Amino acid sequence: MSKEYMSNCRDSDPSILGKVYLVGAGPGSADLITVRGAKRLAKADIVFYDALVEPEMLALCPQAKLVPVGKRCGKLSSAQQFINKQLVDAAHQHSVVVRLKGGDPMLFGRADEELHTLRQAGIEVEVVPGITAALAGAAAMGQSLSLRGVSRSVAFVTLAQGDEIAVKGQPMSHPNADTLVYYMGRRDAVKIATQLIDQATHHTLDTTVHILEAVSTPRERRWSSTLGALAQGRADAWFDGNSPVLIMIGNALKNTEQYREQLDTLDTKVNDSLQDGLIFTHSRRCA
């Protein structure tokens, strides 16, 4: 059915509702949105977009009405309840409604609140995944977040509490993972580093740290050092303040030839042991 037909039907019967798509815009660069996401934008009647969405991304939907809804940590933005209501109202007026979110809608994007509101209103909704910034950051550095023999666990963390009231002096909760990626952690960078060092579990003064701003865009910048340097506030003057930030912590991010030599040695030992072993063809495997 054409949009024009659906629009005419909606005018004659207000009970006919449009469909809402929660679309992940990806980490920043317009060419990193998924094919499905780009197709939804191309057909959108109206697009509600986050502050982190790049202008080049909005060029993919020139036919749509564009509505900014903020959602940037520490900045003035629309209340979530108001965004929820806007989506419901738009579905009563338009066939294709897109809620465009930075990264992936299902990670730190309050998608659950919007999904619940739309479903309660009887509105059909679909989620289109996007590339989250942590993965784009790892790709930009050319280093994996997991690494054989070094990192078997990865955690994505945000300290942004939204409308919740933080208790002054309350310690942060840090996951027990080998590699940590903090979203929206600029204001708490020193505190993050200090507490991780004090916990003395997976991370020490010498643990590798990379801070990335505006990942995958022409404005991308990187600060690389150690957890000890971050705890001393050495990155404070480096921060831009206007770009989204990732703080990536873990020795899997350590770019050393020594580690690669260790892997080569391990591979050689494994290959030698295989050559020295006996191979039985058509043998039966027992659990």
The whole-angstrom separation of Cα 22 and Cα 111 is: 8
Is 39 an active-site residue?
A: no
Residue 170 lies in a domain: yes
Residue 139 and residue 126 in one domain:
no
Total of domains in the chain: 2
Average pLDDT of the chain, as a whole number: 86
Q: What is the pLDDT of residue 13?
A: 59
Are 114 and 139 in a shared domain?
Answer: no
Largest CA distance in the chain: 80
CATH number at residue 30: 3.40.1010.10
Q: pLDDT band for position 78 (50/70/90)?
A: confident
Residues 99, 9 share a domain: yes
Q: Is the pLDDT of residue 218 over 70?
A: yes
- Tell me which of 131, 161, 186 is where a domain ends: 131
Residues 7 and 98 in one domain: yes
pTM of the model: 0.82
Strands (E), 169-287: 179-183, 208-213, 221-226, 245-249
Structural domain boundaries enclosing 204 = 134-257
Residue 275 belongs to some domain of the structure: no
Give residue-wise pLDDT tens across range 98-109: 999 999 999 998
- Residue of 45, 50, 104, 178 marked catalytic: 50
Q: Indicate whether 276 belongs to any domain.
A: no
Residues 162 and 99 in one domain: no
In a domain, 285, yes or no: no
Same structural domain for residues 67 and 164? no
Is residue 166 one of the residues assigned to a domain? yes
Residues 29 and 118 in one domain: yes
Specify if 270 maps to a domain: no
The answer to whether residue 265 is domain-embedded is no
Positive or negative: CA dihedral 259, 264, 269, 271: positive
Residues 140 and 122 in one domain: no
Mean pLDDT within 237-247 = 92
pLDDT of residue 8: 53
Q: What is the CATH number of the domain that holds 155?
A: 3.30.950.10
The most confident of 173-182, 201-210, 225-234, by mean pLDDT: 225-234
Residues 109 and 154 reside in one and the same domain: no
pLDDT at 10: 54
Where helices occur in 76-233 by DSSP H, the ranges are 80-91, 111-120, 133-141, 189-199, 227-231
- Report the C-alpha gap between 25 and 69 in whole angstroms: 14
Q: Does the annotation count 50 as an active-site position?
A: yes
Most confident segment among 8-12, 168-172, 196-200, 215-219 = 215-219
Predicted local confidence at residue 202, as pLDDT: 82
Q: Are residues 63 and 179 in the same domain?
A: no
Q: Average pLDDT for residues 99-123, to the nearest whole number?
A: 96
126 and 144 fall within a common domain: no
Residues 121 and 9 in one domain: yes
Share of the chain above pLDDT 70, in %: 77
* Cβ partners under 8 Å of residue 241, min gap 6: 186
Structure tokens given for 184: 């929206």
Q: Is 184 a catalytic residue?
A: yes
Of 71, 101, 104, 248, which residue is the catalytic one?
A: 71
For 17-73, the pLDDT digits (tens) are: 999 999 999 999 999 999 999 999 999 999 999 998 999 999 999 999 999 997 665
Per-residue pLDDT at 165: 43
Active-site residue among 57, 101, 104, 184? 184
Confidence band, pLDDT 50/70/90 cuts, at residue 287? very low
